[in-house]
Structure 1
Amino acid sequence: MPLSDSPVLADATIPSARSRFPWRRLGKDAFPLVGLVILCALIVTYAFGDGSDFLANLVISACIGTISFCIIDGVRLAVWGESRRPHWLAFGAVIAVGVPAGQIFGARLAGLLLGMELKQLHTLGTTRTSGMLLFTLLATGGVTLYFAGRDRLARAEAAAAQERARAEAVERQALQAQLQLLQAQIEPHMLFNTLANLQGLIAIDPPRAQRMLDQLIQFLRGTLSSSRSQATPLAQEFTLLDAYLGLMAVRMGERLSYSFDLPEPLRTVRIPPMLLQPLVE
């Protein structure tokens, strides 16, 4: 029996290249066709028949289903591509053509493969052909509804994933803004205090003032480099902290002592800039 993909497809993205037919998608869509063909052969054999000729019914179902599937899904992929949603009226017309065509040519092909005449299946107007057409249409409708539900679920999951990604991006931006605001609050406070101390040391202890000025230059150079990136390695952050604590050590003298212990595997771990300095302060 025929298998067609859902007429309800996402239309958010229009394919950029129409010349390349999506054979991989056609093959992926064809996987459920095997199960549907077997199911239809079982129904025809045991529900509508006497339980005999299952293999013949399987061949007939496979021929009709394959040709109908190739017509319906092939036209859909060729005209609308993988991501555009077919218009329901146009896709209905494709099904209305694909089902009888699959019935007629599939029955003829099955007759050739089985070596028997199947006029009652491919001659329009006969009772058997009309019944098989109705059965094929019902099977196509059921499969179409199944794929419609599957595609709606896939679109809902994709929309949810996009919303989560957007929320995470907004959260990261907010965190980055908070860190930049914190950095803007820390630097002027420390800078003004350091300059005030430097001004006093120039007159009473020039060598110490020179050491403080060197540490201040190193700290400002490291701060400028960190402020231009969204993440810095721990090694660079520790270098910045070394300059900061060296600057504080010049101000506080023997009252301040410190040491660093950064394991080698952690040196390249990236963190937001200026994340450790508030903890040190």
Structure 2
Amino acid sequence: MTIDWNAKLQHLLQTLAFCLAVASIQFAFMPERSYAPGVVYSILVGTIIWVVVDIGRHAMPSAAETGWPKGFSGVLLVAAGIVAGYFFGNKLGDAICQAFGLFGPRGMAHTDADLRSGMLITLLAGIAGSYWFYSRNRSGYLERQVGEVQRHAKEARLKLLETQLEPHMLFNTLANLRALIGVDAVRAQEMLDHMIAYLRATLDASRAATHPLQAEFDRLRDYLELMAIRMGPRLAYTLELPAELAGLPVPALLLQPLVENSIKHGLEPKVQGGRITVRAHRDGPALVLEVRDTGVGDARASGDGPGFGLTQVRERLAALYGAQARMDFALTPEGAHTRIALPVS
């Protein structure tokens, strides 16, 4: 088993702090004793217990959820650490305190009461410290498990949103194609060709959670060409993608619902139609994507609302980026404006 020595160093520092706290509590109850010997004994006893238990446990079969030996072997390990800490810690403490004269004029004199209290303190402190590290390990394991479950739930939610979006767009396009077949078969054939190209690109993109921004703009171009066949001169569009941003990864089909929303709620209700502009640019550390239309704007019927598209995009951003991404939607007399800011490395 690989040992995380940075974590072990943290555990050692925590153990030393705990030992100092124990020595201070002892001195508070027995101020007539010198403080220095109590610190030496406490640190030596606690450090030996820590070495035996926290290092020694890696030499034994351990439970995945705690990293500690399973069943009764874990209890024996803690008991062995406490016994070793008490005997070897006291022996070393005696030698060090005598060598440096820390006992003072009183000299080294361990009464039966001293031995009993030392054993009791070592037992209680050893159990408390071991349980503390055991609980921390178990809590860390549970946190990792919760994080893993949340990650899988987020992935499942994104897949659900994507499966909702694809049929939504497909059904709308098929309905438009059906309407066009009866009035202009040639344009319907052209629309069908664009649709096949679009669906082929969509199938390729569906195999990955993200794709380059250039691919997103290419798919928008295919979709807008489909809509231009049906709407004719009532639909104009502009796609602005700087070359340096073309390779940045973005969620697949992110902008499609916003463009569809602009057509359905903004341009189609307007007799003369209008223009859709899709633009990408950098704003400091963020990638900014904007979709503007010159549709009916705030004259939209109150019952239209933001619709499926905006809701779907907002939920995908929340699932993928959390608070790191932001989406703003505004209606003005001149049309609608959606702005998305994504974190980029």
TM-score by length of 1: 0.70
> Following the alignment from structure 1 to structure 2, what is the Cα–Cα distance between the partners of residues 146 and 237?
52
Q: CA deviation at 1:194?
A: 4.8
Hey, what does 1:31 align to over in structure 2? 13
SS in structure 1 opposite 2:129?
helix
Hey, what does 2:170 align to over in structure 1? 184
2:213·2:250 contact (CA, 8 Å) conserved in 1? yes
Hey, what does 2:250 align to over in structure 1? 270
Task: Name the CA shift for 1:239/1:62 in 2 (closer, same or farther; >3 Å).
Answer: closer
Q: CA deviation at 1:137?
A: 0.3
Q: Which runs of 5+ in 1 are unaligned?
A: 1-17, 202-208
1:101 aligned onto 2:81: no
1:59 aligned onto 2:30: no
Q: Which residue of 69, 92, 115 corresponds with 2:75?
A: 92
Hey, what does 1:229 align to over in structure 2? 205
1:45·1:57 contact (CA, 8 Å) conserved in 2? yes
Task: Name the CA shift for 1:109/1:232 in 2 (closer, same or farther; >3 Å).
Answer: closer
Q: Which residue of 134, 157, 161 corresponds with 1:171?
A: 157
SS in structure 2 opposite 1:275?
helix
Whose strand proportion is higher, 1 or 2?
A: 2
Task: Name the CA shift for 1:87/1:68 in 2 (closer, same or farther; >3 Å).
Answer: same
Query: Counterparts of 1:4-19 in structure 2 under 5 Å?
Result: 18=1
Task: Name the CA shift for 1:49/1:78 in 2 (closer, same or farther; >3 Å).
Answer: farther
Task: Name the CA shift for 1:272/1:194 in 2 (closer, same or farther; >3 Å).
Answer: farther
Task: Name the CA shift for 1:181/1:128 in 2 (closer, same or farther; >3 Å).
Answer: same
Hey, what does 1:113 align to over in structure 2? 96
SS in structure 2 opposite 1:259?
strand
1:223·1:240 contact (CA, 8 Å) conserved in 2? no
> Following the alignment from structure 1 to structure 2, what is the Cα–Cα distance between the partners of residues 132 and 250?
90
One-letter code aligned to 1:167? A
Q: Which residue of 2, 9, 28 corresponds with 1:46?
A: 28
Task: Name the CA shift for 1:171/1:257 in 2 (closer, same or farther; >3 Å).
Answer: closer
Hey, what does 1:260 align to over in structure 2? 238
Whose helix proportion is higher, 1 or 2?
A: 1
Q: CA deviation at 1:232?
A: 4.8
1:197·1:251 contact (CA, 8 Å) conserved in 2? no
Task: Name the CA shift for 1:102/1:244 in 2 (closer, same or farther; >3 Å).
Answer: closer
> Following the alignment from structure 2 to structure 1, what is the Cα–Cα distance between the partners of residues 163 and 178?
23
Work out the number of aligned pairs and report it. 247
> Following the alignment from structure 2 to structure 1, what is the Cα–Cα distance between the partners of residues 249 and 3?
45
Query: Counterparts of 1:75-224 in structure 2 under 5 Å?
Result: 75-80=56-61, 83-115=66-98, 120=110, 127-196=113-182, 199=185, 201=186, 216-224=192-200
One-letter code aligned to 1:28? Q
Q: CA deviation at 1:103?
A: 1.6
1:99·1:136 contact (CA, 8 Å) conserved in 2? yes
Task: Name the CA shift for 1:276/1:213 in 2 (closer, same or farther; >3 Å).
Answer: farther
> Following the alignment from structure 1 to structure 2, what is the Cα–Cα distance between the partners of residues 104 and 249?
88
Task: Name the CA shift for 1:148/1:74 in 2 (closer, same or farther; >3 Å).
Answer: closer
> Following the alignment from structure 1 to structure 2, what is the Cα–Cα distance between the partners of residues 238 and 46?
73
2:37·2:97 contact (CA, 8 Å) conserved in 1? yes
1:63·1:110 contact (CA, 8 Å) conserved in 2? yes
Q: Which has the greater radius of gyration?
A: 1
Task: Name the CA shift for 1:78/1:259 in 2 (closer, same or farther; >3 Å).
Answer: same
> Following the alignment from structure 1 to structure 2, what is the Cα–Cα distance between the partners of residues 146 and 138?
12
Hey, what does 1:69 align to over in structure 2? 50
> Following the alignment from structure 2 to structure 1, what is the Cα–Cα distance between the partners of residues 42 and 232?
92
Q: Deviations over 1:172-231 (max 9, x none)?
A: 1211110122133234334444555553x4xxxxxxx6xx75665344223311233244
233-242 or 99-108, which deviates more: 233-242
2:44·2:89 contact (CA, 8 Å) conserved in 1? yes
> Following the alignment from structure 2 to structure 1, what is the Cα–Cα distance between the partners of residues 225 and 78?
78
